[in-house]
Amino acid sequence: MSLIDEYLRGRSKAFVTALGILTVFLVGIIDYFTGPEISFSIFYLLPIFVAAWYTRRTSGIGIALLSAITWLAAEMLGGQPYSNSLIGYWNGLSRLGIFVVVALLVSKVRQTLEDEKELARKDGLTNAANVRYFYEILEAERRRAARYNRPFTVACLDIDHFKSVNDRHGHRAGDELLQTVVNTIRGNIRASDFLGRLGGDEFALLLPETDAGSGRGVVQKVRDSLMETMQKMEYPVTFSIGVMTFAKSPPSVNDILHETDRLMYSVKAGGKDGIRHAVL
C-alpha cells in the first residue's frame, strides 16, 4: 500500500482523475457482463476514494456522479428487473447521494490530516518551520547535494539584545519582534529557500543550490532589510549572523548546524552586529 500511495502522490491531479474515470468505466463494463446478481458497489467506491484523497473535493464529486450514472447504465443495459421503471432511477439517485457523501468525507479527512501535519511542522508563534521540520528539510538537501555534488548555504541568525526588549517592553513586544523578523526575512528570500526557528531568538536559513558569492548576497540583503525594519519600528536590536557555504555535503545535519552555529557565535564573541562567512 505504501508503494501505491507514494506512486499516486507523485502523479498529477489530472492523471489521478483520468485514472479514476478509466477505473469507473472498467468496473461498469465488468458489472454489465456479470449481470444483476453480483453487487459491485464496493468497486465503484474505490475510484471515488482515490479521486477525493489524492486530488480535490470537486474531482471526487465528479467521479461520484460518473460512478452513479455508470452503475445505473450497467443495470439498465443488463436488464435488471424492476416492478416499476422509476425504481432504477430512484436507486441511482440514492447511490449518487451515498457516493457524494463518501467523497466529501474522504476529502475532509484528508484536508484535516494535511492541516494537522502542517501545524506540526510550524513554530506556533512565528509560523516559521520548527526545529524538527527544519532538520528534515536540511537532511533532504544534504543528501541531494551529496548525490549531485552541488553547493548549498546555511545561515544561523541570532537577535542581539533580544532579552532587553522582553525586559523593558514585555513578552508581547518580544513576540511581535520575532514575528516581524520572520516576515522580513521571508520577504527577502526565494520561494525555494527555507526558514526555521531553532529556538528562542535564533533562526536558521537554508539556501539550496547557493554558492558562497550568492549566499553572501542573499544574507546581506536580508540583514539590510532587517536593520531598516528594526529602525523604523524602533527595536533596539542588531543581528549576529554566521553564513556557511558547503561545497561538499557534510556527514550529518548536526555537523552542518554545528559549523554554522560556531561561526555565528564567533560574531557575537567579537562584538555582535555583523556577518561572518566561511566555505567548507
CA–CA separation, 136 vs 130, rounded Å? 10
Q: How much is the pLDDT for 219?
A: 96
Taking the domains of the chain in order of start, what are their residue ranges?
2-121, 131-279
Contact 31, 51 (CB under 8 A): no
CA–CA separation, 240 vs 231, rounded Å? 16
Q: How much is the pLDDT for 89?
A: 78
Query: Which whole-number Å values give the CA distances from 252 to 51, 105, 259, in the listed order?
Result: 39, 42, 11
Q: How much is the pLDDT for 80?
A: 65
- Give the global pTM: 0.71
Q: What is the pLDDT of residues 126-149, one digit of tens each?
A: 999 999 999 999 999 999 999 999
Q: What is the pLDDT of residues 232-265, one digit of tens each?
A: 998 999 999 999 999 999 999 999 999 999 999 9
In CATH, the number for domain 131-279 is 3.30.70.270
Q: How much is the pLDDT for 1?
A: 58
Least trusted range by pLDDT, from 6-10, 45-49, 99-103: 6-10
Query: Which whole-number Å values give the CA distances from 86 to 38, 41, 81, 266, in the listed order?
Result: 21, 20, 11, 82
**DSSP output for 39-65:** --HHHHHHHHHHHHHHT-HHHHHHHHH
CA–CA separation, 62 vs 105, rounded Å? 14
User: For all residues of the chain together, what is the average pLDDT?
Assistant: 91
Residue 118 has pLDDT above 90, yes or no: no
Q: What is the pLDDT of residues 168-211, one digit of tens each?
A: 888 899 999 999 999 999 999 999 999 999 999 999 999 999 99
Which range, 57-61, 164-168, 174-178, is most confident?
174-178
